[in-house]
Copies of this chain bind each other. A is one copy, B any other.
Amino acid sequence: MTAPLSPLPTPDDIVAAHDRIRPHIHRTPVLTCDTLDRKTGARLLFKCENVQKSGAFKARGASNAVFGLDADRAAQGVATHSSGNHGGALAYAAARRGLPCHVVMPRTAPRAKRDAVLGYGASVIDCDPGVVAREAALAEVVARTGAEPVHPFNDARVIAGQATCVLELLEDAGPLDAVVAPIGGGGLVSGTCLALAAMAPETRVYAAEPRNADDAHRSLKAGRLITEDAPDTIADGLRTSMKDLTWQVVSRHVSDVLLASEDEIIAAMMLIWTRMKIVVEPSSAVALAAILNAPEVLAGQRVGVILTGGNVDLDRLPWMTARTGETR
């Protein structure tokens, strides 16, 4: 990204973000499911960001960035790179404020996510998968248009926006022993950590990650940031690695990174669809898959679980491609 990094958001920044974005987001429900409680031995409180505006929690961070711009800067528009949901969220927020928006997307992004960006009137710039290709394409767009870059996670405005999710979860669910959220670039997990450190420091944070994209897990074990370019996982929202800002928070605050295999992610996704009757995308199911995998960590506890999004191609579901042997 070309913009200088901002410092981390303060508790006041998070509260201000919530006030700023409230007119532009849904207060999403918190659901429970007795069957999943029995299977995990924990009391799970699911924060349903799959029904958030734009279909993902990303509407929070994007709205905070877009509606925080002063009028002159805003007039130039906004730009980002995204595997999908941040792009759709930025396009949503920009359309709501009436600004131009440019989204660099890898060709492998789900069609539903690409269609969402186009549906909000933003322009899509195709690129190859992988962080290096994405960032090069974004730099070109920013240089050409003068748009304000809004990084999908390594941006204090975005982290403050994502932090508002756990504020609502605490208000609606009451005190929690732990919160589990999936980790890709770490924007949601960082926001969650910063909010809880200020408002409920006794609540532990666990990140959930696909075993096929376990850079956060390896980073935490090694004590230094390890990145991976375009790992292969069906959890398409989690194919990115952390950067300096999010790593700074995750390395200090996250208790552990819990892993799940591709098969476990698919099974957890089917469990959520069939038992909770809600549509979530594979990245959302990673949290439940990781909990099912490590029941001893959370047994008997009250655990917030962030279901991050619900944007899937219905004619290309993971158990369909698995069944017919198509490549993903």
A positions within 8 Å CB-CB of B: 29, 48, 50-51, 55, 112, 270, 273-274, 276-280, 310, 314-315, 317, 319-320, 323-324
Contact = CB atoms under 8 A, between A and B. Distances in A.
A128 to B, nearest CB: 28
Copies of this protein in the assembly total 2
A310 B278 CA distance: 9
Contact of A320 (B279, B280, B320): B320
A112 B314 contact: no
A277 B278 contact: yes
Most buried by B among A55, A273, A324: A273
A322 B279 CA distance: 21
Most buried by B among A277, A280, A324: A277
A61 to B, nearest CB: 20
A197 to B, nearest CB: 31
A315 B322 CA distance: 10
A273 B277 CA distance: 10
Contact of A51 (B277, B280, B314, B319): B277
Contact of A274 (B273, B278, B314): B314
18 contacts: A48-B277, A50-B277, A51-B276, A51-B277, A55-B277, A273-B279, A273-B314, A274-B279, A274-B314, A277-B279, A277-B310, A314-B317, A314-B319, A315-B319, A315-B320, A315-B323, A317-B317, A324-B324
A278 B280 CA distance: 9
Most buried by B among A51, A270, A274, A276: A274
A268 to B, nearest CB: 13
